[in-house]
Chain A
Amino acid sequence: MNGFWAILTKEFSHIRRDRTTIFFMFMVPIIQLLIFGFAIDVTIDNIPLVVLDLDGREEGRKLVEAMENTQTFQVVRRTFDQESFQRAIRSGQAKAGILIPAEYSERLLRGEQAQVQVLIDGSDSQVATTALNTVTLLVSNLSVGRARLLGESRHFAPARNEAGAPALPIDVRPRLLYNPDLQSSHFFVPGLIAIILQMVLLFLTSFSIVRERELGTLEQLFVTPVGRGGLLFGKLIPYALMAFGELLIVLVAMVGLFGVAISGSLILLLSLSSLFILTVLGLGLLISTLAATQLEAVQYSFLVMLPSVFLSGFMFPRSEMPTIIWAAGYLLPVTYFVEIVRGVILRGADAVDVSSSILGLTLCCVVILFLSLARFRKQLD
């Protein structure tokens, strides 16, 4: 620990004088918070719809109305011939189209099966899936409604409820827990804590060491009796403290700005965050032992950051991933931490609930610290 205070004091002087570091530490997280918290909304609605209604009577109009009422669709155009109907979809003006055939109302009234054609632009899979699900659900609901009416008129009911009224055989009662309004910010902001902490810490710690290597000041330090521990802790602790301060800022913003309450224990959240901070410090140190220049450090950091954003479950649900990719996500410490923050903040999970994630994060921490400390020597080779 020889030289710890000297290095610590010096590091704070660097931070104080280096405006870009301060900017990076505090502005970038705020920008990210605003983008992910406000701008990104993954619920899909108002899909542009083109209508070709060859029927033109009440039943056909009711179908289009029902589609608009879901709010998933919005009629942008009504056409009267096949050619312009197709063109509206091809040109991208509409993402979905509904074609109601001429005999639609008659067939329904006659009790015959009526066909409705729905075309969906499959290029954006998320929009297409939503459109498909909505249409399928809507039409089957309408069909069931008609079937029930028909059954009632003939004094036949598929099932009856407690009051004895005709009802469907299975009654589903879904209830949304933890985020009843399905707000994207509730999902993104807690996960963002993990991403922000990792990004800022990874860049700053690896830079602070690699910069000294590039400038030759590290070589100068190596020929002094400064201890390995003093050098490492002196350099890393200032960034750990700043990261912790940043964590508090993001938490305050989360609660105050986005109204996401911390349902679980704050102590648990802060202590597991500290474990994560320690892990990322180790990762930054590991990068600094691999990179000879700051540019290389940026590249290595991106090598960690990109999978962290996409594979950790921060943006896309991990359950949707192919098995290999899903398993690869477990190599990233941030995967465990995203799981932990969402658990503790949104679901009020306690240590037992997230114990497997805690175990995974601890394991990552031990391995990374071991590797980086073994690689960091007071030597030039």
Chain B
Amino acid sequence: MNDIVIRTNRLTRYFGKVRALVDVTLDVPRAGIFGLLGPNGAGKSTLIRMLCGVLSPTSGCGSVLGFDIRTDAESIKRRIGYMSQRFSLYSDLSTIENIRFYSMIYGIPARKRREREDAVISLTGITPYLDRLGGNLSGGWKQRLALACALIHEPEVIFLDEPTAGIDPVARRDLWDLLFSLAHQGVTMFVTTHYMDEAERCSKVGYLQAGTLIALGTPEELKASKQVTPDDARRYEVSCKNLPAALARARSMPMVRDATLFGTVLHVLIDASCDPTTLVQTLTGGEEGAAFRPVAPSLEDVFVILSRAEEIRRVS
């Protein structure tokens, strides 16, 4: 019962006449990592800001840790951590000054402050940079500092808005390892991202498109959904030399329901009644080295299919 920490019901937000978020209904269980995906401007940051209580909903309602986001925002703020898209700490304060500032802001009692500061410093491993000014840290360390400040008051939920945007792969991996260990300690994570591999690591994902939540579930649930993998269709991975030509042919064939390039391979969803060997030969123009194998859908497949379907629904 008490294990749902974030819950929204038909949450909607307009900016003037622009619909930033429409009827978003979701719930996030405790100690999970909820990944929110979607293109820029889809409403991800708007949703996070409403959940953090700094933006009021136009209609609908929501709660975080049982506190209403409209009426009890201050109770929420005491119990959550927030890391925004941009580096939003003070560039002209040093690492340790930033951490101390937030430990005071969160009203941590003086006798406990030192202990908490040491805890977040060792957790994020930022010890070598304690005296460096915030503005002089590299992207990855800025994010760690932001995380340290967001964790200082032992929040139960952390909202991270594109925490890995623009940082190097090693820092990205390290940051995710940190998030996993926090989730393991029972902290709930609400993360927005553009990276599919990050989405795959989440315990639950949602996909926002133009303000509408068009997918919600665990990665497995989404991949197994009938819309993504219908009973009468099969998905294959085709590898060949002339990928663009194969893609163009695939898109013109009626038995191919979907065709998408994935790096050096092509994913096609074809009618189950159709023989894959013949089809692949037609696709590749009889190329000798062409190969194919059945594959399970990736999350990218899921989002591509769902957003195309949503676009068609919207147009009609």
Q: Which residues of A contact B (CB under 8 A)?
A: 2-3, 5-7, 9-10, 13-14, 17-18, 215-217, 219-226, 378-381
Contact = CB atoms under 8 A, between A and B. Distances in A.
B86 interface: yes
Interface of B: 49, 52-56, 74, 77-78, 80, 82, 84, 86-93, 97, 101-102, 104-107
Contact of A222 (B54, B86, B91): B54
The 7 A-B pairs with the shortest beta carbon distances in the complex, nearest first, are A6-B104, A216-B88, A220-B88, A223-B82, A225-B78, A222-B54, A223-B52
A247 to B, nearest CB: 27
A17 B89 contact: no
A197 to B, nearest CB: 26
Nearest to A7: B105
A7 B49 CA distance: 22
B54 A224 contact: no
B86 A224 contact: no
Contacts of B53: 223
A260 B88 CA distance: 48
A217 B90 contact: yes
Contacts of A10: 90, 93, 97, 101
A367 to B, nearest CB: 27
Contact of B88 (A3, A18, A217, A378): A217
Given A3-B105, A223-B77, A225-B77, A13 B93 contact: yes
Given A17-B92, A225-B105, 10 more contacts: A5-B104, A7-B105, A14-B92, A217-B90, A219-B54, A221-B105, A223-B54, A224-B102, A379-B54, A380-B54
Between A10, A17, A221, A224, the greatest number of chain B beta carbons within 10 A of the residue's beta carbon is seen for A224
A227 to B, nearest CB: 9
Contacts of A225: 74, 77-78, 105-107
Contacts of B105: 3, 6-7, 221, 224-226
Given A3-B107, A380-B49, A380-B54, A215 B93 contact: no
Given A13-B93, A217-B89, A378 B54 contact: yes
B47 to A, nearest CB: 13
A101 to B, nearest CB: 76
Nearest to B98: A10
Contacts of A226: 105
B165 to A, nearest CB: 14
Contacts of A217: 88-90
Nearest to A378: B54
Contacts of A17: 92
Contacts of B88: 215-217, 219-220
B55 A381 contact: yes
20 contacts: A3-B104, A6-B101, A6-B104, A7-B105, A10-B97, A10-B101, A13-B97, A14-B90, A14-B92, A14-B93, A215-B91, A217-B90, A219-B49, A219-B88, A223-B53, A223-B77, A224-B106, A225-B78, A378-B54, A380-B54
A18 B90 contact: no
Contacts of A221: 105
B49 A13 contact: no
Nearest to B76: A223
Contact of B89 (A13, A14, A220, A223): A220
B54 A18 contact: no
A14 B88 CA distance: 15
B84 A224 contact: no
A311 B87 CA distance: 44
Given A381-B55, A381-B56, A223 B80 contact: yes
A86 B88 CA distance: 70
B86 to A, nearest CB: 5
